[in-house]
Structure 1
Amino acid sequence: MKRGKKRIRLVLTMLVCVMVISTGVWARGINYTSAFNILIINSYQIGHHWEEYVMEGFKQAANEYGESNINIKIEYFDFRNRNDEEYVTSFLELIEKKYPHGSVDAIYTIDDEAFSVISPEITNSNSELYHVPLFFSGVDANITFTQEEEQYITGIYQRDVTLECFNLILQIDDTIDQINIITESSGFGDNLIEKATNIIESHLENEIVLNVIQSDYIEDVVFQLQALQTATKDTKANEIILLGGEFQDKDTGVFLDPKESVEIMKKYSPWPIYSNDPTYLTAGILGGCMDIGQLQGEEIFNTMKRVIEGETIAAIESKFAPSPKWLLKYNAIYEYNIDLNNIPRKCTIIDKKPYQFLLPRYMKSIFCVIGGFILLFIFFLIAYLIYAFKEIRRQKREAQLGIERENMQTDFLVNISHELRTPINIILAAVSVMKLQLDETDKKWSKKQLEEKLHTITQNAYRLLKLSNNIIDISKIESGKLTVNMQNYNIVDIVEDIFSETIDYASKKDIKMIFDTHEEEIMITVDRELIQRIVLNLLSNAIKFTPSGGTICATVKKEKKYVVIEVEDTGMGIPKERLETIFHRFYQVDNSLTRVNEGSGIGLCIVKELVALHDGKIEVTSELGKGTSIQVFLPDRYDANQKEMSCQTCLNTTVNTEMSDVVK
């Protein structure tokens, strides 16, 4: 019996817990999360510009608020597609099925059409939207609410922007005779026409003619605009267009971009275009009194935030939208010849570049001319400063080069003295030895000893001859008296013959010599003797600066419009900072009296000048400690009027002279 009572008590306790939980759930509806769910209802289709601006401001304010648990849903009434009673009923049924009671914490109707559909449901006890807080915008201030509605509905009233727009228009031009309204077939369009009519009747005493073109389709607008222009052509009326709404293509139903709509209207109308809709502000109109949609969206969210933070709707009074702005486009002011004196001070001029000024057209022309002269002066000043800067740098560079040239000339004189003294001393020494031997009658010279002394004298005589030739050649080049004898030769044979004559000199230093050619015969027009001088100088330098056991390669090949002679060695290399100066006159990489190799320092200078006489060029690449490659580029040209000449010639004297300072 006791066990039975315990079981009854346990069951009763469980029933009480279930009832408490159920009561809590019922009290809260079905919203089990702490998220604040907002339903936005838009009367237009997705992408309608004005409503998009409003939602942009609303969402931006929501993001800045920083609450991650705010959920926003958007539904489109799309009244332009259909707005009859049956469609409205089906739309409400859809909303109630998608958003049952408790799933939405607040509703925001962007415009008056959406408000007119949703607001009755807030006080309809049979509706799923019953007593859901409703926020509105785009609604006229003449609307009244019941006491019950005031507990759940608040928002932003639409200002009378049309009256302010008329005020702006007439301040800019008080001679307007006719205002042509072009608008869509909607509540917005009807409201615009109604307000404009009341303003003309009440404030302007019908002194201005009002024409209305109202249609959703651009084709109808164009047809009526043409008819209107024809009807007023002879009246010489001063007219403007007041534009509102968005327009569709009749065949496709596609909504036109605002800029495209304005461009079409301008084809059939020369009149200035104003608008209350900021959508058209960047589409080519003159301007207007604009409601800034982003500001309205931001204001609505800031009002809704108070509810999110715990306030009741009843404590939040409805208010007017932020003040509209008077805006005019800079370029359009001049396009329509607007009198600048009539532009109200409260107007904001948009799309004006920092360098542009709001001046009468004639003053703009004067300023343009003055500005042109100023810019021209600045241009010439900058050009002069650049020239002066370059000239200063050039003079400094020339002064530096002058100092370097003077130093090199000084070094050259020292070098040339050394070069002259060395072979002369050797010759004199050899002659002295020979004379000494001749005086000692009891001693006889062997043939070998005599040949050695004569070889020494001959080699050093060649060194003197080479030095003399170089000085003469450089003098001829300076004076322009060095002439060339251009003939057709097989350049491969010229290079190979010179190369063969230098192998013995390289072998004395245990240097390996390699010759390669891509073609056995390459006929071009050159001066044979000058080419021999070029190749000999390059090979002598390579042998001179390549250590024992190294390698020298000579190559002849065609490369695009050139024939290339390349001499590559595995010698000491040249520092990168000195690559550009090795062709300077008197320059030597090893620039001291105790240098390892002999030379006057004018050989490569002569090579460069001789290559230039052939309209060629010379390039050098080198890496310190690894070797040097020098490439001579000769134009691949052939003179059909010249005979092909043989390369056979005696090279002994030429080679011995050039190689005289290679092997000691």
Structure 2
Amino acid sequence: MIFNSNSFAYKTPVVSIGINEHFTLSEKENEYITGVFEIEDNLKYLNMLIDINPELSNLIIVSDKSKYSSIIKENINSVSYLTSKPIEISFIEEEYLDNVLINLKKVASPQSAILIMGDFKSSDENIISDLSVIIDSIKSITDAPIYTKVPSYLYAGAVGGVMKFGENHGYIAGEIISKLLLGENIKNLNSIHNSLYLTVFNYDALNYYNINPLLLPKGSLYINKNKFDLLLPRPLKYLTWSTLIIITLVFIFTIFKYIRDKKTATLNKILLNQALENDRLKTNFITTISHELRTPLNIILSTTKLISLSIKKSIIDKEYLLLKLDYIENNSNRLLKLINNIIDITKIESGFLTPNFAMDNIVEVVENTTLSIIDLAKEHNVNIIFDTEEEEIMMSIDRIMIERIILNLISNSIKFTKSLGTIYVSINKKNDNVIISVEDNGIGIPNDEIDNVFHRFHQVDSSLSRHNEGSGLGLFIVNSLVNLHYGKIEVFSIENIGTKFDITLPIFITNVTNDDNITIQPLEQLIKVEMSDLKEK
């Protein structure tokens, strides 16, 4: 009886915690006593250990000589005959860890399990041993799994088991006391019986002893378990992870193969389209070249026949003869330009076209080239305006290539600029570069064609080519000649507004001068060749 008239707590509200023996309160005592009344009942624990360890035949209970350990021993002895399977239960009650280890060596076997509780001293220092040291010491002498009822042993490395956490008792007791202090009648605060036991296991220890998690009680809690740790027996865990890894690898391989195949299919489609486009361009090129060759040849042959007939009939008019000879010369130049372009493309693609760099005044070269064809442009009702802010820019260039670039761009502008249109040619210096611009107010280039104008064999539109002669090689060659000068060419165009070509060339110096260069072709002859197809505009 914990409540009688001689007690200091007689008829005083009492909050009790930690009762571990069977007892009952009288009706009068229930009016003044409440709290957490946990009764030590280990039958559930013993049956759980038998379920977890199917081969268990010997349970070794390791404890100190405390009152709590004695109560545990008494309770276990009282229920041991009720277990689901008969097992041998032996007790090791020692004060020192060394004695515990000696006794364990004698009784532990492969079919044993250990239930540990209490504190143990080290014999050399006579102080309480650290719980993790106790667990490691037992592991060093036996492979028997170590279970416990004490949370601190759980955190020290024991497997775990059925246990109660003191902090839960304290929390509930604190709530009860708070309600009493706030005026709550103790009669309204019911006692709590046997509701705070939890089955808690150390996931690392389960793995260490190869314990099947599927045999653990449902609703168990786990410490040291990560998000992706599996509650499966080791073989099944390995199989699951292996399967997941294989599935992941297969998935990754499938995705990789899909992406690779898709890229390959896309690349093949691009290559096919490029091949078809190249085939189309080559076909168009052959058709255009055939026309370009046939037209001047027909003119030359026809003119030759006319001259021949005039001579045979003794009808020779000097002006008539000079006119026909001019036809022959111009169309011969057209053939020469076409052949030169084809040869240049072959050299460009094989890497054999090399510039003859020499120091020159590029302003003078561009200006002279532009002014030399002003009269020719006027014959087509097109004005040419040249402008520059620089009088002289000395740099290393291939004079003939620069002249061909300018003549080709102006020739294109004349072809596609309507009557009374204007072409603007300018050259200026910006930092260490020279900027050459050729701009017209002609028919412009469609947006979807701008990216293709420098491609080999490309002509903006077949309908244009029927009105303006050309092989589709000019701008490709221009771009290549600019690249040989380590420069770049850009095109800006608005349809029906006009087109502008900007050439950027880096200024660099060499020791070669034009006096040393013996391969310079006269500008007049170059103009006749490069501008020969304007006669048919």
TM-score range (shorter-chain normalised) is 0.5 to 0.7
Query: 2: distance between equivalents of 1:569 and 1:176?
Result: 104
Match of 1:210 among 113, 118, 135: 118
Query: 2: distance between equivalents of 1:504 and 1:333?
Result: 100
Indicate if the aligned counterparts of 2:355 and 2:398 stay in contact, CA closer than 8 A: yes
State the TM-score, normalized to the length of structure 1. 0.49
Is residue 473 of structure 1 aligned with residue 358 of structure 2?
no
Unmatched 5+ stretches in structure 2: 1-11, 54-58, 78-90, 94-115, 121-126, 176-185
Query: 1: distance between equivalents of 2:47 and 2:437?
Result: 83
Is residue 388 of structure 1 aligned with residue 261 of structure 2?
yes
Query: 2: distance between equivalents of 1:440 and 1:364?
Result: 111
Q: Secondary structure at the match of 1:599?
A: coil
Match of 2:443 among 572, 585, 588: 572
User: Which amino acid is the alignment partner of residue 576 of structure 1?
Assistant: N
Match of 2:405 among 509, 531, 534: 534
Q: What corresponds to 1:40 in structure 2?
A: none
Q: Deviations over 1:357-408 (max 9, x none)?
A: 4566688678767766665565555444433333333333333333333332
Q: How does 1:435-514 map to 2 (within 5 A)?
A: 455-478=326-349, 480=350, 482-490=352-360, 492-493=362-363, 494-507=365-378, 508-514=380-386
Query: 2: distance between equivalents of 1:660 and 1:464?
Result: 9
Q: Secondary structure at the match of 1:523?
A: strand
Query: 2: distance between equivalents of 1:567 and 1:291?
Result: 92
Tell me the CA shift for residue 589 of structure 1.
0.8
Q: What corresponds to 1:399 in structure 2?
A: 272
Change (3 A) 1:243 1:515: farther
Tell me the CA shift for residue 591 of structure 1.
1.2
Tell me the CA shift for residue 600 of structure 1.
1.0
Indicate if the aligned counterparts of 2:384 and 2:424 stay in contact, CA closer than 8 A: yes
Tell me the CA shift for residue 210 of structure 1.
1.9
Q: What corresponds to 1:417 in structure 2?
A: 290
Tell me the CA shift for residue 603 of structure 1.
1.6
Tell me the CA shift for residue 490 of structure 1.
4.8
Match of 1:549 among 410, 421, 425: 421
Query: 2: distance between equivalents of 1:614 and 1:567?
Result: 18
Change (3 A) 1:275 1:233: closer
User: Which amino acid is the alignment partner of residue 341 of structure 1?
Assistant: N
Query: 1: distance between equivalents of 2:151 and 2:394?
Result: 81
Q: What corresponds to 1:107 in structure 2?
A: none
Q: Secondary structure at the match of 2:469?
A: coil
Q: Deviations over 1:302-339 (max 9, x none)?
A: xxxxxxxxxxx999988789988756686x468x7352
Query: 2: distance between equivalents of 1:289 and 1:616?
Result: 84
Query: 2: distance between equivalents of 1:414 and 1:324?
Result: 96
Query: 2: distance between equivalents of 1:456 and 1:434?
Result: 11
Query: 2: distance between equivalents of 1:292 and 1:500?
Result: 102
User: Which amino acid is the alignment partner of residue 157 of structure 2?
Assistant: P
Change (3 A) 1:161 1:594: farther
Match of 1:272 among 157, 172, 176: 157
Indicate if the aligned counterparts of 2:441 and 2:499 stay in contact, CA closer than 8 A: yes
Change (3 A) 1:323 1:637: farther
Query: 2: distance between equivalents of 1:527 and 1:416?
Result: 28
Q: How does 1:81-120 map to 2 (within 5 A)?
A: none
Indicate if the aligned counterparts of 1:170 and 1:176 stay in contact, CA closer than 8 A: no
Q: What corresponds to 1:607 in structure 2?
A: 478
Q: What corresponds to 2:531 in structure 1?
A: 659
Query: 2: distance between equivalents of 1:202 and 1:456?
Result: 128
Query: 2: distance between equivalents of 1:552 and 1:568?
Result: 5
Query: 2: distance between equivalents of 1:359 and 1:539?
Result: 82
Q: How does 1:7-156 map to 2 (within 5 A)?
A: none
Indicate if the aligned counterparts of 2:442 and 2:496 stay in contact, CA closer than 8 A: yes
Query: 2: distance between equivalents of 1:444 and 1:422?
Result: 25
Q: What corresponds to 1:256 in structure 2?
A: none
Q: What corresponds to 1:110 in structure 2?
A: none
State the TM-score, normalized to the length of structure 2. 0.59
Change (3 A) 1:202 1:513: farther
Q: What corresponds to 1:523 in structure 2?
A: 395
Indicate if the aligned counterparts of 2:18 and 2:38 stay in contact, CA closer than 8 A: yes
Q: Deviations over 1:108-161 (max 9, x none)?
A: xxxxxxxxxxxxxxx99xxxxxxxxxxxxx9989999999x99xxx9x979899
User: Which amino acid is the alignment partner of residue 543 of structure 1?
Assistant: I
Change (3 A) 1:344 1:591: same
Query: 2: distance between equivalents of 1:432 and 1:318?
Result: 132
Change (3 A) 1:231 1:397: closer
Change (3 A) 1:317 1:394: same
Match of 1:581 among 452, 458, 462: 452
Indicate if the aligned counterparts of 1:563 and 1:633 stay in contact, CA closer than 8 A: yes
Indicate if the aligned counterparts of 1:161 and 1:289 stay in contact, CA closer than 8 A: no
Indicate if the aligned counterparts of 2:408 and 2:474 stay in contact, CA closer than 8 A: yes
Identity %: 32
Query: 2: distance between equivalents of 1:470 and 1:229?
Result: 90
Is residue 643 of structure 1 aligned with residue 515 of structure 2?
no
Change (3 A) 1:425 1:363: same
User: Which amino acid is the alignment partner of residue 362 of structure 2?
Assistant: V
Q: Deviations over 1:560-610 (max 9, x none)?
A: 9x7665544443333333333333332211213764422111222333444
Query: 1: distance between equivalents of 2:70 and 2:417?
Result: 103
Indicate if the aligned counterparts of 1:516 and 1:555 stay in contact, CA closer than 8 A: yes
Q: Deviations over 1:222-252 (max 9, x none)?
A: xx998777899877689899668xxxxxxxx
Q: Secondary structure at the match of 1:483?
A: coil
Indicate if the aligned counterparts of 1:419 and 1:600 stay in contact, CA closer than 8 A: yes
Change (3 A) 1:453 1:443: closer
RMSD over aligned CA atoms reads: 6.1
Q: Secondary structure at the match of 2:208?
A: coil
Indicate if the aligned counterparts of 1:573 and 1:627 stay in contact, CA closer than 8 A: yes
Query: 2: distance between equivalents of 1:564 and 1:338?
Result: 81
Change (3 A) 1:329 1:472: farther
Query: 2: distance between equivalents of 1:475 and 1:380?
Result: 45
User: Which amino acid is the alignment partner of residue 389 of structure 1?
Assistant: K
